[in-house]
Amino acid sequence: MTTTPVRCPICQSPMQLHQASNGYYCDNKHRLDKTEQGFYPCFINNKNKPKPMTRAQMRAKQFLLASGLYQGLVDKLADVIRPMHQQTVDKKQSLNWLDYQCGEGFYIRQLSKALGINSGDESQIDAVNCYGFSDAENALFAASKQQTTAQLFNGSVKGLPFNDESFDLITVLDSQLKGKECQRVLKADGRLLLVVPTPEHLLELRQLQQGDVELKPTKLNLPSGLELVVDHSVQLVQDVSAEQAQSLYEQTSFGWRASKQAQKVTQFSPMKLTFAWQVLELAKAR
C-alpha cells in the first residue's frame, strides 16, 4: 500500500493506493476507483457539476494548444520548475505536483517532456508524482485518451480531494485562482505558479474589434494568505493564421461580450499577434 496526497471525498480521511487495483481506499472502507474514462470521480452530489465545455469548444482549444503558439509559455514554466525538480532528484525525494484545472492535460504533457519526467532516465524515476484536477469530466477523458502521465481527478473546486499541505508545487495555468483550496493543499514551503495574461496579451485582436485600446496596468489581486516571491514575464510576437486568429478571438472575454453582429463583421486574416503573460511564483505568507 502506498501513502498518497489523496483524501476521501466522503469522510475526508487520508487515502492509500492499492497498487494491484490502482484504486484508493481509506480507513473507513470507502473506495475510489478509476472510471473507464481514465479518471477518479470525486463529486458527491452530481447536481453540483458545472456545465461541461461543448465538443466544439474542446476541439477549438485543442487546435490552439497543438499549434505551438504556447511553446514560449511552456519554456518559461519549465525554466521556473526545473530547479525545484532537480532539487528533489539530488535529494532522492519526490516532488508532489498538482496541475489545478488541468483541462485536457496539455501543460502536464508538455512540461513533463521539457523536464524529462518519465523519460526512462533512472535518475528521474519517482522524482515527480503528478496529479491533474478538473471539474470537467470531458476534459479529463480527453487527457486520458492522450495518455497524460498523471493521476486525474474530477471533483468540485470547493473541496479538492487532497490532504492539507500535500503538494510541493501547484500550477494554475489556464484558470482563475479562487477560494482557499489551493492554499490548503500547498505545503508550507511549497510554490504555486499562477499564469496571468497582461494587458498586451492579444492586443491586436482587441484593436481589430475596438479600435484604439487603452492599456491599463495589471492589478494583482492575490488571495489573502499568499505572497509574491518572483514575477516572471513572457512576451513574444508570433505569426498566426486567419483560423488561429478567429479561434483565439472566440475564446477571449471581449470576443464573448461582442454582439453577434460585431462577431459577423470582424474579419480575420493572417497577422502578427502579441502573446504576453506574467508567471507569478507564489508562496504561503509567513
Annotated binding residue 26: yes
The full DSSP string for 17-74 is: EETTTTEEEETT--EE---TTSSEE--S-GGGPPPPPPHHHHHHHHHHHTTTTTHHHH
Annotated binding residue 30: yes
Annotated binding residue 70: yes
Annotated binding residue 102: no
Annotated binding residue 201: yes
Instruction: Give the tens place of pLDDT for each residue, 65-110.
Output: 999 999 999 999 999 999 998 888 888 888 999 999 999 999 999 9
Annotated binding residue 25: no
Please give the Cα distance from 90 to 128 (Å, whole number).
12
SS3 label, residue 139: helix
Please give the Cα distance from 257 to 45 (Å, whole number).
32
Annotated binding residue 120: no
Instruction: Give the tens place of pLDDT for each residue, 171-206.
Output: 999 998 989 999 999 999 999 999 999 999 999 988
Annotated binding residue 159: no
Hey, what domains does the chain have and what are their CATH numbers? 1-33 (no CATH), 35-198+218-234+275-284 (3.40.50.150)
For the question of whether the overall pTM of this predicted structure is more than 0.85, the answer is yes
